[in-house]
Structure 1
Amino acid sequence: MSRKRLYLFIILVLTISLISTNLWVPKIKANSPTSVIEWDENRQHIDGFGGSGAFQKPSYIMELPEPQRTKILDMIFSQEKGIGLSMVRNLVGDGEAASTIQPEPGKFVWDEPDWESAKDDFDKDQIWFMREAEKRGVTTFFSSVWSPPAWMKTNDSVNGTGEGKLKRENYQDFADYLAEYVLGYKEHFDLDISYISIANEPHYGPSYSGAVWTPEEMNIFIRDYLGPTFEERNVPAKIVMPEHMHFTEEYALPALNDPVTADYIDVVASHAYGIGTDVPEFPVSTEKGKTIWQTEYMNQGEAKQSYEFNTIRDGLRHANLIGDMFDVTGISAYFWWWPAAVNGADGSDLIRLTTDEDEEVNGMFRVFKRYYALGNYSRFIRPGYMMIGSDKSPVEGVQITAYKDPETNNFSIVATNNKDTKQEITLKLDQFPEKIKELVPYRTSGNENLKKLDDVKVTNNGKAVTINLKSNSVTTFIPKEHELPAFEDMKDVFSSYEAEENDGQSKGIPKSKEKTYIKHVRNGDYIKYENVNFADGTANGQPGMEHILSMDATVKSIDGGSIEIRLDDPVAGPVVGEISVSNDNSNEWETFSTMIDTNPSDGAFGFHDMYLVFKGDSRKKLFAVDKFTFNDGIDEPIELEKHLFDYEDGTTNGWKGRGGSEILEATQKEKQSGEFSLKTTNRTSSWHGPSIDITDMVVKGEEYEFSAYFRFVDALKTPSTVKFMLEITDLGGTTYLPLEEVETNNSEWFPLTGNYMISQDISSIKLYVETSKPEDSFYIDNVIIEPIN
């Protein structure tokens, strides 16, 4: 045998050997961005995902008829049928926001003679909510204090107004109150309260239930009263603090830096209001080994209730935020505010229960994309999991985080693609204890709601997989042996409807070669979408926008025609809208629209199958069809107005303190002109100051000039930086834009000015003034917001 033939023979033998030993496998595409998932890189443990039943919101669910009541509860708590929230946050009763266990000194309700007859009505809705959650596997109950009982407070009210605080002489009473709450709920209701938070948003004194605490007061109370009391009485609940409104650990620092107090604290928690895209670290909490939670967030404010804030854009915003908080801050739990409720501001809810004309729940509900995006985490990342290492951003616009169950070797990989184009990514499964053969994807996108997709094969002997991430989507991958059932296919008005991805169509409709749209339709053709939830026919959650719904069709005209929107039957079903398509034969994708009839008798109201029926000249190709989307149908010009705040009516003109501790008053002591100005005192942080929400005063796409006059109350020895600012919230988060910054100790009135073009993407915008020194008090006057024509 020649040497050349010998070499070929050896190569052939080696090749056969490699194949037989499973070492020869299909190659992963070399040009795919790669994220290495590190099984042995253990990070923080996971406590779970939760929502709140505070302020009697579960009572609306209780009022629902069956089977809707069970359906909503399953959608919240069931891992099989819903998003599997695994924690419930309650409100510790104060006598107004919920039942109190001690309405007056020395008297606990369960010591009263009539307790057994009164027991069933005590804190009825929250206890019912917890028990329904328990039936669906929830074991973690977390209770937050909004206010101590009124008799313990300096303002004799559960409200936070007037700087209402817990009186120092009642610190021990309040410690006993919380101990009795935990022990009493176990004894009388057989409910284990796992965690107690001593204060909700302690820096803020609201007009509803609330109490103001300083960081040092929280430190003293936990160190000298609550910790020792829980220890002495063997109270099993863990202590949570400080639950500041903004996502920061600063309010916890005195307690964390006190070695005695720090030993009593189990969880450092904060809310996420005002957070932008830069998620902060909690370095001291991490150094001290404390568990970190995000315990309340929602789409706050009326401006966020427009149609776009309920679609996939909002879903992706929350998906990115959750991933960042787990990765950067190292949180172990994430809470939404209310999972399901009736609210004028839909941004509070994942699911909104709709009501009739008498404001009674009517059994219908609306589901927002944020529900499904949160579910991409909560359904698949369970209590007891750990976060593990991953290359979080293998390519711009993609976020990947990973989690494992050390007990079962189950795992979840969450991949968010924020790009408008699909993205191919390779996942390398490093040091995984078992050979992974297949992954099951569950995807939320513009037209999908946690949809279970086809299995993905894992190659390289179970060590690598190439995944295709759809544009603007969040996808969770879990191993095949731990797959969960598919969700009920329940569509909604906040999803898009891709023409080629329908639930049925008439014969003869051709798809494009790319299979991304329908090539053309003819007269009488139709496509069908099953189980569309129109709910109350509303797309925009703002007041006065009920029953306003429109539909947009993205088509490419050939000979033109129309599109009938019919319900339940393509021929006999009622027509609730008709879209006219011009015959311009432009060969360009265009959008055509119509309003939708949402009347309760035979309109787009409740659940229906939806048929899109195409009409036109029977001999012609009418148009190509790409997709359909709903909208709020609002396209009316808004008049540009100038706004002046001169406080001449003797009020604050709607300005409020950003922190809640500030005192704002219209005063005649100083004024730039006229008789009044606005005085701000009692600031305790540099960011405290007067603020006003101007969202409804400005028009998107227009440029405005902002101006004001400023003066310090007292002359300064050293300069302070005066900041004239905008707080801008959009789908990317919240940013803080300086209109003008002046470092000065000028004791006279001086002007502040700046211009800003209002972005189309803003959801809320606030104007405010602050200074770099917390002790500064100051006046403002003649604040003007003026459009630049």
Structure 2
Amino acid sequence: MSPKIQRQIMSDFFSDKGIELSMARTTIAGSDFSTRQYTYDDHDWDWDLKQWSLVEEDTKYRIPQMKIASEVAKHKPIKYFGSPWSGPAWLKTNHKITGKGQLLEKAGSKPWETYANYIVKWLSAYKEHGVEFWGMTVQNEPMTGMQENFPWNTMGFTAEMERDFLKTDLGPALERAGWGPDKFNVMILDHNRDLLPQWADVVLGDSGAAKYAKGVAVHWYGNGAAGPERYDQVHNNHPNHFILATEACNGWQDADWSISLGRWDFGESYAHDIIRDLTHWVSGWNDWNAVLDMTGGPIWVGKGHYESAPIIVDPAKGEYFKNPMFFGNRVKRFKEGGPSFA
């Protein structure tokens, strides 16, 4: 999209002329919605991370767009948080970014310590580029990395593994580097609420891990299998830790998927979930992809995993659409010369 349209979209999301979002998530290295598989150190057995570096996705796209968002938000700081999909393949049991794979060995070992340092280098690199993070989740959807042949970026953790990684490796590494729990928000789980309250009890029930965790992150997938009373249980068991909804999207549920411009049921499902979450101790609510193109991408995984988003862009025509997921209004087509209605 043109620089003008890029800035207008960021304004729609983050400025006082838009919906004034106060929080945004980004990925730590690649995800299923990247155009390729990558991490920040794809050089086997680089234990000292000498080959670690940001990539074009960060320096050309992600960081500049985050800076624009912060500019249009003016004096209202955006709480940026990151989520990793997979560590480097050479640190994993299956030596792949996808599929069933966990960190090699166990907490306190060289692979686990190296991965903790990998995360710290990401925070440091973004800080050097002028972007500060409010927090991070330990791992996006950790149980997908326990599944055979899982098709996109993932790394498996059980609750016990996440507890030990946070207590022994990640938490201390973050604290040594200046991102201790007094100023940085680490969230556990970052997966579906049917894993609650057990996951939170395992991790936050350990004082060594709990001191580094500030909150519990949840996704909305499979909510039909578990009601919002799971949040009540987490709050009752761990009242000093917040709950944050960190991912939701529409489109993946439909066998005959399309970007579904103007679907009110998509907007209504968001509204219903937000209201229900906020009345059960959830502190905030985040979408997955803020913006996608006319094919529901870009994405490297392949057809069948595409989704819709609050804003859909058409780079070929230099225009974009606001879906009902964005706000309760008609779908509008925005062009360089101003809005026209669709």
Tell whether the structures are fold-level matches, with TM greater than 0.5: yes
d(CA) in 1 for partners of 2:9, 2:334:
16
**Partner residue of 1:211?**
155
**Partner residue of 1:76?**
13
**Partner residue of 2:123?**
182
- Which deviations, in whole Å up to 9, do the C-alpha atoms of 1:714-773 show, x marking residues without a partner? xxxxxxxxxxxxxxxxxxxxxxxxxxxxxxxxxxxxxxxxxxxxxxxxxxxxxxxxxxxx
**Partner residue of 1:252?**
200
Query: Cα distance 1:609–1:353, how it changes in 2: closer, same or farther (>3 A)?
Result: closer
Query: Cα distance 1:79–1:97, how it changes in 2: closer, same or farther (>3 A)?
Result: farther
Choose the corresponding residue for 2:326, options 371, 393, 399.
Answer: 371
d(CA) in 1 for partners of 2:194, 2:275:
15
Answering whether residue 92 of structure 2 is matched by residue 144 of structure 1, we say no
Query: Cα distance 1:209–1:347, how it changes in 2: closer, same or farther (>3 A)?
Result: closer
Query: Cα distance 1:371–1:304, how it changes in 2: closer, same or farther (>3 A)?
Result: farther
Query: How do 1:161-560 residues align onto structure 2 when only pairs under 5 Å count?
Result: 161=99, 163-168=100-105, 169=109, 170-186=111-127, 188-205=128-145, 206-236=150-180, 237-246=184-193, 248-249=195-196, 250-276=198-224, 278-282=227-231, 283-288=233-238, 289-299=240-250, 300-303=252-255, 305=257, 310-328=262-280, 330-342=281-293, 344-345=295-296, 347-354=307-314, 361-372=316-327, 444=328, 449=329, 491-492=330-331, 533=333
By how many angstroms is 1:127 displaced? Answer: 1.1
Where relative contact order (Cα < 8 A, 6+ residues apart) is larger, the structure is 2
By how many angstroms is 1:231 displaced? Answer: 2.4
By how many angstroms is 1:533 displaced? Answer: 3.2
By how many angstroms is 1:313 displaced? Answer: 3.5
Give the partner amino acid of 2:87.
P
Query: Cα distance 1:123–1:199, how it changes in 2: closer, same or farther (>3 A)?
Result: farther
- Which deviations, in whole Å up to 9, do the C-alpha atoms of 1:249-301 show, x marking residues without a partner? 23332111112211111110111012139423322344321010110011123
Query: How do 1:723-742 residues align onto structure 2 when only pairs under 5 Å count?
Result: none
User: 2:89, 2:97 within 8 Å by CA — same for their partners in 1?
Assistant: yes
TM-score between both structures, scaled by the size of structure 2: 0.79
Query: Cα distance 1:248–1:352, how it changes in 2: closer, same or farther (>3 A)?
Result: same
By how many angstroms is 1:68 displaced? Answer: 2.3
- Which deviations, in whole Å up to 9, do the C-alpha atoms of 1:302-333 show, x marking residues without a partner? 447569884333323321210110102x1112
By how many angstroms is 1:192 displaced? Answer: 0.9
**Partner residue of 2:301?**
none
User: 1:99, 1:123 within 8 Å by CA — same for their partners in 2?
Assistant: no
Partner SS for 1:253 = helix
d(CA) in 2 for partners of 1:196, 1:119:
19
User: 1:240, 1:267 within 8 Å by CA — same for their partners in 2?
Assistant: yes
Choose the corresponding residue for 1:89, options 12, 15, 25.
Answer: 25
What is the aligned-residue RMSD (CA, Å)? 3.0
Query: Cα distance 1:134–1:98, how it changes in 2: closer, same or farther (>3 A)?
Result: farther
By how many angstroms is 1:119 displaced? Answer: 7.8
By how many angstroms is 1:191 displaced? Answer: 1.3
By how many angstroms is 1:132 displaced? Answer: 1.4
By how many angstroms is 1:97 displaced? Answer: 4.5
By how many angstroms is 1:151 displaced? Answer: 1.6
**Partner residue of 1:158?**
97
Q: How many equivalent pairs are there? A: 306
Give the partner amino acid of 2:78.
T
User: 1:94, 1:149 within 8 Å by CA — same for their partners in 2?
Assistant: no
Give the partner amino acid of 1:369.
P
d(CA) in 1 for partners of 2:57, 2:260:
41
Query: Cα distance 1:368–1:253, how it changes in 2: closer, same or farther (>3 A)?
Result: same
Query: Cα distance 1:321–1:164, how it changes in 2: closer, same or farther (>3 A)?
Result: same
Answering whether residue 84 of structure 2 is matched by residue 128 of structure 1, we say no
Query: Cα distance 1:285–1:309, how it changes in 2: closer, same or farther (>3 A)?
Result: farther
By how many angstroms is 1:152 displaced? Answer: 0.9
User: 2:259, 2:308 within 8 Å by CA — same for their partners in 1?
Assistant: no
User: 1:147, 1:209 within 8 Å by CA — same for their partners in 2?
Assistant: yes
User: 1:92, 1:144 within 8 Å by CA — same for their partners in 2?
Assistant: yes
Q: Percent identity?
A: 23
d(CA) in 2 for partners of 1:94, 1:256:
28
Partner SS for 1:294 = strand
- Which deviations, in whole Å up to 9, do the C-alpha atoms of 1:57-116 show, x marking residues without a partner? xxxxxxx12532222221122122x11222221111269545516743323457xxxx8x
Partner SS for 1:365 = strand
- Which deviations, in whole Å up to 9, do the C-alpha atoms of 1:632-681 show, x marking residues without a partner? xxxxxxxxxxxxxxxxxxxxxxxxxxxxxxxxxxxxxxxxxxxxxxxxxx
User: 1:91, 1:146 within 8 Å by CA — same for their partners in 2?
Assistant: yes
d(CA) in 2 for partners of 1:119, 1:316:
37
Partner SS for 2:211 = helix
List runs of 5+ in structure 1 lacking aligned partners: 1-63, 356-360, 373-443, 450-490, 493-531, 536-605, 611-789
Give the partner amino acid of 1:176.
N
- Which deviations, in whole Å up to 9, do the C-alpha atoms of 1:346-393 show, x marking residues without a partner? 7431011125xxxxx421222211110xxxxxxxxxxxxxxxxxxxxx
Query: Cα distance 1:304–1:351, how it changes in 2: closer, same or farther (>3 A)?
Result: farther
By how many angstroms is 1:234 displaced? Answer: 2.3
User: 1:91, 1:98 within 8 Å by CA — same for their partners in 2?
Assistant: no
Query: How do 1:13-92 residues align onto structure 2 when only pairs under 5 Å count?
Result: 64-80=1-17, 82-92=18-28
Query: Cα distance 1:265–1:304, how it changes in 2: closer, same or farther (>3 A)?
Result: farther
Query: Cα distance 1:316–1:253, how it changes in 2: closer, same or farther (>3 A)?
Result: same
Query: Cα distance 1:176–1:305, how it changes in 2: closer, same or farther (>3 A)?
Result: same
Partner SS for 1:207 = coil
By how many angstroms is 1:153 displaced? Answer: 0.8
Query: Cα distance 1:124–1:286, how it changes in 2: closer, same or farther (>3 A)?
Result: farther
d(CA) in 1 for partners of 2:261, 2:340:
24
d(CA) in 1 for partners of 2:341, 2:62:
36
User: 1:216, 1:255 within 8 Å by CA — same for their partners in 2?
Assistant: yes
By how many angstroms is 1:213 displaced? Answer: 1.1
**Between Structure 1 and Structure 2, which shows a larger proportion of strand residues?**
1
TM-score between both structures, scaled by the size of structure 1: 0.36
**Partner residue of 2:303?**
none
